[in-house]
Amino acid sequence: MRANTQVEHVTPSANLTVVTATGSTPGPQRSVNEDRVLVGRRSGDASAPLVLAVADGMGGHDGGATASEAAINAVVLSQENWDTDRGDWFERLTGLFALAQRCVAERASSPHGPRPMGSTLTAVVIDRRSVVFGHAGDSRFYVFRAGRLRQMTSDHTVAHDLLARGDITPEDAAVHAGKSILTRAITSADPVEPEQGHIDLVVGDLLLLVTDGVHGALADADIVAELASVDAGALPSLQRAVDRLLTAVREKSGKDDASIVLAGVTR
């Protein structure tokens, strides 16, 4: 198993440092990785908010890869135009997801474009000590704090909706046929209203974004066991955790593309 990894150090204001590591690997039977990850900020502005994002494309090979790439490109385009002194972060994220939908629709409508297609998108913005996020699909954003793993986003799937209504049990949801059927995503057809949320950072936090190729293969306990020993301020420790989690996905016979963004918060 070979993971394509990238690393980056960033230092936002408020005396906090965020260190990031990423990894992405295609499924063992796939020739194309339909996942995309992003760690970055507005070009040329070291004080701009940091954005973490993952996208998991749908539509088979070219279609899925094209859709996830379009979604991530929308994140890049959006952050280039953000004025951090004006506006509301939830408004900005709503605009980001609207742009992502237009980008996917544009790619799908081109004469030789693959269609239909779509993508999940989970985008996390770190602005000083605050984190805001927007989300559509079944990728996930977690916060690991004081030994506890907290899932910040919902899975927008048929199985999750049934679970939320009390129609099935968590055990049923784990094997339900609807666990892979999305009820919300970035598609070429309709605009999507993102799920949104906010938290304040605490020194020692680990922020984890994963596509369903990771959480579909690993239980929360597997993830906690790996994150428990991570030094949030040490790049080698973060990267080792990413690589070990991706290795664990394959050892658990995970068949999907798997992608991770892991960020540690320190002083």
Summarised one tens digit per residue, pLDDT across range 159-177 is 989 998 999 898 888 889 8
In three-state secondary structure terms, 59 is: coil
Q: Tokens for 30?
A: 């796939």
Yes or no: say if 20 and 261 are a contact pair by the CB < 8 Å rule: yes
Instruction: Quote the pLDDT of residue 7.
Output: 41
Does the pLDDT at position 206 exceed 70? yes
Instruction: Please state, in angstroms and rounded to a whole number, the distance separating the CA atoms of residues 115 and 110.
Output: 9
Alpha carbon distance 128, 131 (integer Å): 8
DSSP assignment of 100-169 equals HHHHHHHHHHSTT---S-EE-EEEEEEETTEEEEEEESS-EEEEEETTEEEE-S---BHHHHHHHTTSS-
Question: Which CATH number does the domain housing residue 256 bear?
Answer: 3.60.40.10
**Lowest-confidence region among 55-69, 174-188, 223-237:** 55-69
pLDDT tens track for 87-109: 689 999 999 999 999 999 998 88
Domain with 30 in it: 4-266
> Is there a cis peptide before residue 194, judged by omega within 30 degrees of 0?
no
For 221, the token pair is: 């306990």
Total structural domains within the chain: 1
pTM: 0.91
pLDDT in tens, 220-247: 999 999 999 999 999 999 999 999 999 9
Whole-angstrom distance, CA of residue 218 vs CA of residue 211: 11
Between 78 and 1, where is the model more confident? 78
Across the range 131-135, mean pLDDT stands at: 97
Q: How many angstroms from the chain centroid is the CA of residue 203?
A: 21
Q: Which pLDDT band, with edges at 50, 70 and 90, does 143 fall under?
A: very high
CB 189 within 8 A of CB 116: yes
Identify the band that residue 26 occupies on the pLDDT scale cut at 50, 70 and 90.
Answer: very high
